[in-house]
A and B are shown apart, each in its own frame.
Chain A
């Protein structure tokens, strides 16, 4: 596209990815640890056992560190919408504004109010009110995630809106259709439960470190038990939820599904790649093999995508070049339709400016008839509909592999706890510690699949990324990119240092009067 500076687009994307990924380092622990702490405090209130209070306070302190350092890192993303993605921000209109406004209000009232009771209210309010506050912080944190995820899901599957050609904005016509869209519900549940797994791995790993060091053994065992149950249930839920999410990806983003599987040539009864290495010389439309090596499960991709073992799953070639037999339109045809819509929008605006209402009505009809593929009209060639295959494929397969590994790990930990031999199984304890970064890795890769896999779109089929950016100078974006990198890296180092110090102090440091039971 002659008018678009691709280096500007790439730097803007890079900056957004950087800030979103850093933000997502802090969020998962807030989402899950808040619930783990609430469960621990419930144990304390129900049993009256002071040991549980000590455990709750210790993990609450770690929650507080993460919350304090991570809080408002997401605001940077909102800054970027207005500065770097102004075309996009204008185009999406109130679709984005309403959920984010609700998020702001909910986050402020639920989190900010009850978090004060959580930390300051131990001797000020009743046990039950304190417990209620802790649960409300957990629910509030998770509900704030709902709204931003609803907005993100809308970009992947734009429903409940209508484009207004006079204002160039999308206008919400059905709030409930946006909120209750199956894509939004699945995205929300998948994302928050990934946060629960990250948190469960964190608690399990820190407890494993205590056990390895033979410190705070009762605290570690009790914490590990709660975290492993919470983590196992969440990891199993993610696997089930991921399976149903595949149905919606197949329906609304078939190119993303093809990229996730590195599938070039579609087929009926398509297999699922369990482990594979892509053929990196492969080009769309050529006859070379898709994989250098692949271990496949027959027909499983068809079942996951369409709940039918013999269903046709379109590959990248089918989606780019079309497949008449399966009724798939070639990308070039969609591009022609999109160009018609763009032209009609320009003509419509010109006709209105010249008070030629008959022409305006005619162009508006043409625009509406072709709007479905509006975004394709901006694409320079048919192959630009293909996302980065390697990044999407490997991210997806590593994420899924890690997901199943976490189920195994939590089950193993629970089994060893039940047998009462966990302290002696040092390799298992080391594995639990090493799994803390793996949880973060899996969670980040999930976002890579979701966001890289949906390229070239910011709004599926409607607005490509390359048209969404503001016309800034690339140099300005580069400066802010490096500023953010410094700021977020400093915050991350601060978090790790403070967190490690507090873990070393352990629960003992919070209540010296209590003798550690071993």
Chain B
């Protein structure tokens, strides 16, 4: 399959998509927006990366947590 054919497969596919297909794509886009632009950005930050910049700091923190059973930040 040539690149032109592959491109036209996608273009024609999206152009001729029925109501159901459009509705499903809308749901996918809204869902991805909620997941990445809202949930990931505001609610699901990587816990260790927000507190430490280096791998060594992260490992020291985890070792301290698991060996003392305490939150070192408190």
Contact = CB atoms under 8 A, between A and B. Distances in A.
Interface of A: 1-4, 61, 64-65, 68-69, 71-72, 75-76, 79-80, 82-84, 86-87, 89-91, 116-117, 119-121, 124-125, 166-169, 342-343, 345-346, 349, 378, 467, 470-472, 476, 479-480, 483, 487, 491, 494, 498, 502
Contacts of A483: 39, 43
Contact of B28 (A1, A71, A345, A346): A71
Interface residues of B, number: 42
B44 A169 contact: no
A64 B1 CA distance: 24
26 contacts: A1-B69, A3-B68, A65-B20, A69-B27, A79-B35, A83-B43, A84-B47, A86-B62, A87-B65, A90-B48, A90-B58, A90-B62, A91-B66, A116-B9, A116-B10, A168-B62, A168-B66, A346-B67, A467-B69, A470-B47, A476-B43, A480-B44, A487-B34, A491-B27, A494-B27, A502-B20
The interface residues of chain B, by DSSP majority, are classed as helix
B27 A168 contact: no
Given A83-B45, A116-B9, A483-B39, A342 B67 contact: yes
A61 B39 contact: no
Contact of B32 (A72, A82, A342, A346): A72
A79 B39 contact: yes
Nearest to A84: B47
Interface in B34-74: 34-35, 39-40, 43-49, 55, 58-60, 62-63, 65-71, 73
A79 B12 CA distance: 35
B24 to A, nearest CB: 4
Contacts of B35: 72, 75-76, 79
Interface of B: 1, 5, 8-10, 12-14, 20-21, 23-25, 27-28, 31-32, 34-35, 39-40, 43-49, 55, 58-60, 62-63, 65-71, 73
B48 to A, nearest CB: 5
A82 B13 contact: no
7 closest pairs, A vs B, by CB? Answer: A120-B13, A86-B47, A3-B70, A68-B24, A79-B44, A346-B67, A3-B69
Contacts, number: 124
Contact of A378 (B45, B58, B69, B73): B69
A195 B71 CA distance: 41
A61 B67 contact: no
Contacts of B71: 3, 471
A260 to B, nearest CB: 30
Contact of B66 (A80, A467, A479, A487): A467
Nearest to B67: A346
Nearest to A73: B31
Contact of A472 (B10, B21, B47, B65): B47
Given A72-B32, A76-B39, A80-B44, A2 B65 contact: no
Contacts of B40: 79
Nearest to A85: B47
A502 B21 CA distance: 12
Given A72-B31, A120-B13, A471-B73, A82 B67 contact: no
A218 B67 CA distance: 66
Contacts of B28: 68, 71-72
Nearest to B46: A82
A273 B39 CA distance: 45
A91 B61 CA distance: 11
Contacts of A471: 65, 71, 73
A68 B25 contact: yes
Given A61-B20, A79-B40, A82-B47, A4 B69 contact: yes
Contacts of A346: 63, 67-68
B44 A345 contact: no
Contact of A91 (B23, B60, B62, B73): B62
